[in-house]
Amino acid sequence: MTTIDTRPDTAVPGEQPSDSAVVSFFVGAAGWVVSTDHKRIGRLYLAAGSLALLATSVIGLILGLERVDDSAALLDANALLQVFQAYRVGLVFGAVLPLALGLSIAVAPMQLGARSIAFPRLALAGFYSWLGGLVLAMAALGANGGIGGGDSNAVDLFLAGHGLMILGLLASAVCVAASVLTTRAPGMTLRRVPLFSWSALVGSLGMLLVLPVAFGSIVYLFIDHRYTSLNFGGSEGIAAWVGWIFSVPAVVAFALPAIGVAAELVPVTFRARQAVRGVAFAGIALIGVTALSALTQQNTHAVTFDSSPLTFIEGAIPFVLLAGLPLLGLLIVMGLGGLTAKQGSSVGRPRIAAPFVFGFFGLGMIAVGLIGNALQGITDLELVGTTFEEGATLYVVYGAALSVMGGAVFWAPKMWGRTIADKLVMPLALLGVTATVLAALPLYLAGFVGQLGGIPANDPEVSAILSLDGVDGGALWMTLSLIGHGLMALTVFAFVGLMLKAFAGNGEMSEANPYGGHTVEWTSPSSLAPHANYEHVPTVASATPQFDMTADGSHS
Amino acid sequence: MSQLALPAAAMPAPRRQLFIGTALACTAATMMIGSMLAVWVLLRERYLTEGFAGAAVDRFPGKYIVPEVASNVMLMTVWALCLFAQWAVYAGNRGDRAHTALGLGVSALMAIAFINAQAFIYVDMGVVIHDTYYGTLFYALTGSMLALVAAGLVYTTVAAFRALSGRLGETEILSSHALYWYFIAVAYSAIWFVVYVTK
């Protein structure tokens, strides 16, 4: 079989256990390293993304300490420029992209009734390309590379690492999108695709539209920096050309699968069918307009209220299209979620479990980030260049991470064969949302009082960002923000620990459908989805086959 | 909870997975080439209005001459390549092994001819990469296109192995391969117009 081959539709037996512990270990490790099982590839992404998020939160904490007291000198002053960039690279390329893609890869094929993801070897190759690129980019930052870096070779390595990451992510995104479009079980039309898989499709298409644009710029930047540094401002010019990829609205397009998790969990929690599914699909697709917003790099709009009507309209039209439509999409998703909950209230009390709490708060955080994205586009508010943008990015990234955690807990029975106890996870959801609010909200407030932010391209810009002079309550806002980063690091650390415990087989053995899921993956009588997911490819006759099979539409 | 399972279905019909995957990859590559052309046009207009390094610049560095024969032949080559790739699809659908081989073989030959012509342009124009603003832009854009054509050549090789080694009936790879070359033809047409015609 080649990279473009797909697993045959016949079951393949798994590896046979060996008597020798050493041999078993190596066979098991090799099984993970070269696995073409989409559940394993997805979990590799999730594990690596979680570790990167943990590291990024710690970096955010350290940067917060530097901001509160710039005389503390926790870090070498010459290293601060690189630390700022490690923070941004970690948030976007280390966390939100792999987490969203990882959950999509692990879950979407099961939801589609497929035996495998499309092009599994390509998906695995994408993971290794992304991981290698991330390591190279971070190593380059450690060697005085990155934006405004002093070592020319390390700057080139930083760009090459990003190129490698983008190629890997694109490869995996192609696999997810092709899976949703081509591997659906018989009877599963596109309108019957679960909401999460739909959001995975829209998110993957968003990545396929946005990431190549950044890649093209990186090719230019690499060659220009390597040979002349004439056209793009040398290493300091990198931020001007690809800085947009590390910020809203691009990160909203990347976080779309996380929004799908929340949309998926509302009907499950309230034991009702999703209200007006077609409109919910449209809502998720509208949020995908952020990809267009990122592509056109129209992050700000000349919406001025004290001008002539014509001037106002000229600024307001792109603002409404690029910043307003995604907000409308989010309102539709949330409104239909509310309607579904109302319909479910007639059946009985909702079963509020930890995944829903994660997803609900995650969606809320992303919504606040999206509102921030729209607000910063209004030039009259003078938020551009302040910490407001960092706050919006943090809301989206941390919110997406919370949603993905909820998704990992929800589908843990199918991925691990284990259920993670609500009493252990629920506090983490509450801690996570507290962390997100504490980390991001103060940056919103600081942005309104003029605290400088953004992605620094040189040491003077670092100094300007660290300086709190003339900013009312600046130290307080930064203190709260660093506490938020610390709490998020704690949340991720504890969550990874719980997952490792479950993975090691110490969690509770799961029922086949412990949360009362509605979609096709829950129809399997086994808890852990078997190798190749389904013994027989199922026939699907509705969007919620498991929900339909219960007598009264409620699970027991 | 009762143990429920959906009934087994008949084996799903082929959904042209490779074709869709290729289309998605072509979409991504179109975005890349499109954005690179946009940057090219942006910088060209900026330098025309603002000058470069404090001095006015021409639309195109006067010391270079575009070998128009080579660039035009490249354009004809990629469109002819589409024809031969489509010929392979037609022959594959009819189970005609000889003509499939011929179509793919000529496609590969055309791809090599394209790469050769690009190499000729590099040598003939003699653009120095670190000379002016033009060098890096030129090599970045045409080099990216060259990489895409090289990837297409690999695709042709893989398709030939698959189609001619006993899997001639699986014609999806042939149509996917043809789709890729259609994308290359469109992408190069845009580059030809911007880089070699309007400069």
**Is the CB of B27 inside 8 Å of chain A's CB atoms?**
yes
Exposed, middle or buried: residue A47 (CB in 10 Å: 0-12, 13-18, 19+)?
A: middle
Evaluate whether A303 touches A315 at the Cβ level (below 8 Å).
yes
Q: Which pLDDT value is given to residue A5?
A: 52
The overall average pLDDT reported for chain A is 86
Q: Which pLDDT value is given to residue A70?
A: 64
pLDDT(A549) > 90: no
Q: How far is CA A525 from CA A413, A510, A528, in A?
A: 12, 11, 9
Eight-class DSSP state of A349: -
Q: Which residues of A touch B33 (CB under 8 A)?
A: 216
Q: Which pLDDT value is given to residue A471?
A: 77
CA-based nearest distance B139→chain A, Å: 8
Q: Which pLDDT value is given to residue A399?
A: 95
Longest dimension (CA), chain B: 81
Q: Which residue in the set B21, B133, B140 is minimally distant from A119, CB to CB?
A: B21
Instruction: Tell me what the mean pLDDT of segment A130-145 comes to.
Output: 94
B8 to A223: CB separation less than 8 angstroms, yes or no:
no
Lowest average pLDDT, out of A122-136, A379-393, A516-530, B126-140, goes to A516-530
B59: number of Cβ within 10 Å: 11
Q: Which pLDDT value is given to residue A71?
A: 67
pLDDT(A11) > 50: no
Instruction: Tell me what the mean pLDDT of segment B106-118 comes to.
Output: 95
Interface test with A, best of B16, B32, B47 (most A CBs within 10 A): B32
User: For residue A231, what is the nearest residue in chain B, using CA coordinates?
Assistant: B133
pLDDT(A555) > 50: no
pLDDT(B7) > 90: no
**Is the CB of A11 inside 8 Å of chain B's CB atoms?**
no
Evaluate whether B32 touches A215 at the Cβ level (below 8 Å).
yes
Name residue A419's beta-bridge partners: A508
User: For residue A1, what is the nearest residue in chain B, using CA coordinates?
Assistant: B162
CA-based nearest distance A3→chain B, Å: 11
Confidence band, pLDDT 50/70/90 cuts, at residue A248 = confident
CA-based nearest distance B33→chain A, Å: 7
Instruction: Tell me what the mean pLDDT of segment A519-531 comes to.
Output: 78
B39 to A220: CB separation less than 8 angstroms, yes or no:
yes
Pairs across A and B, CB distance < 8 A = 143
Confidence band, pLDDT 50/70/90 cuts, at residue A488 = very high
Eight-class DSSP state of A380: G
Q: Which residue in the set B8, B16, B28 is minimally distant from A537, CB to CB?
A: B8
Q: Which residues of B touch A183 (CB under 8 A)?
A: 12, 15, 17
Cα-Cα-Cα-Cα dihedral sign, residues B33, B39, B41, B43: negative
Instruction: Tell me what the mean pLDDT of segment A385-391 comes to.
Output: 90
Q: Which pLDDT value is given to residue B3?
A: 43
A228 to B133: CB separation less than 8 angstroms, yes or no:
yes
- Distance CA(A180)–CA(A192), nearest Å, equals 11
* Tokens encoding A495: 């969550």
Q: Which residues of A touch B135 (CB under 8 A)?
A: 227-228
**DSSP assignments along A55-103, one per residue:** HHHHHHHHHHHHHH-TTS--S-GGGHHHHHHHHHHIIIIIIIHHHHHHH
Cα-Cα-Cα-Cα dihedral sign, residues A324, A330, A334, A339: positive
Confidence band, pLDDT 50/70/90 cuts, at residue B164 = confident
CA-based nearest distance A146→chain B, Å: 20
Condensed to tens digits (0 to 9), the pLDDT of residues A459-487 reads: 888 888 888 877 777 788 889 999 999 99
Condensed to tens digits (0 to 9), the pLDDT of residues A372-381 reads: 988 887 878 8
Q: How far is CA A173 from CA A133, A493, B24, in A?
A: 16, 27, 9
Q: Which pLDDT value is given to residue B1?
A: 39
Q: Which pLDDT value is given to residue A103?
A: 95
pTM given for the model? 0.91
CA-based nearest distance A230→chain B, Å: 6
Lowest average pLDDT, out of A168-177, A414-423, A468-477, goes to A468-477
A181 to B9: CB separation less than 8 angstroms, yes or no:
no
Instruction: Tell me what the mean pLDDT of segment A525-540 comes to.
Output: 75
Q: Which residues of B touch A10 (CB under 8 A)?
A: none
Q: Which residue in the set A175, A216, A539 is minimally distant from B32, CB to CB?
A: A216
Q: DSSP H helical segments within A250-382, as ranges?
A: 250-254, 256-270, 277-287, 289-296, 309-319, 325-344, 354-376
* Tokens encoding B181: 């070359």
pLDDT(A369) > 90: yes
B35 to A216: CB separation less than 8 angstroms, yes or no:
yes
Q: Which pLDDT value is given to residue B2?
A: 41
Instruction: Tell me what the mean pLDDT of segment A16-34 comes to.
Output: 74
* Tokens encoding A212: 């190549």
Q: Which residue in the set A6, A186, A512 is minimally distant from B3, CB to CB?
A: A512
B140 to A2: CB separation less than 8 angstroms, yes or no:
no
Query: Would you tell me which residues 204-243 of chain A have a C-beta closer than 8 angstroms to some C-beta of chain B?
Result: 208-213, 215-217, 219-220, 223-224, 227-228, 230-231
Q: Which residues of B touch A540 (CB under 8 A)?
A: 6
**Is the CB of A537 inside 8 Å of chain B's CB atoms?**
yes
Lowest average pLDDT, out of A178-192, A530-544, B133-147, goes to A530-544
Instruction: Tell me what the mean pLDDT of segment A133-143 comes to.
Output: 95
Q: Which residues of B touch A513 (CB under 8 A)?
A: 1
- Give the ipTM: 0.91
Query: Would you tell me which residues 152-171 of chain B have a C-beta closer than 8 angstroms to some C-beta of chain A?
Result: 158, 162
Q: Which pLDDT value is given to residue A525?
A: 72
Secondary-structure breakdown of chain B: helix, strand, coil percentages, each rounded to the nearest 5: 75, 0, 25
- Spell out the residues 6+ positions from residue B30 whose beta carbon is closer than 8 angstroms to its own: A212, B183, B186, B187
Evaluate whether A253 touches A288 at the Cβ level (below 8 Å).
yes
Confidence band, pLDDT 50/70/90 cuts, at residue A554 = very low
Interface test with B, best of A202, A209, A227 (most B CBs within 10 A): A227
Condensed to tens digits (0 to 9), the pLDDT of residues A273-307 reads: 888 889 999 999 999 888 788 777 665 666 777 77
Confidence band, pLDDT 50/70/90 cuts, at residue A506 = low
Instruction: Tell me what the mean pLDDT of segment A59-88 comes to.
Output: 84
Instruction: Tell me what the mean pLDDT of segment B105-117 comes to.
Output: 95
Three-state secondary structure call for residue A190: helix
- Distance CA(A164)–CA(A162), nearest Å, equals 5
**Is the CB of B41 inside 8 Å of chain A's CB atoms?**
no
Confidence band, pLDDT 50/70/90 cuts, at residue A138 = very high
**Enclosing H/E stretch for A487:** helix A474-503
Evaluate whether A336 touches A281 at the Cβ level (below 8 Å).
no
Q: Which pLDDT value is given to residue B56?
A: 75
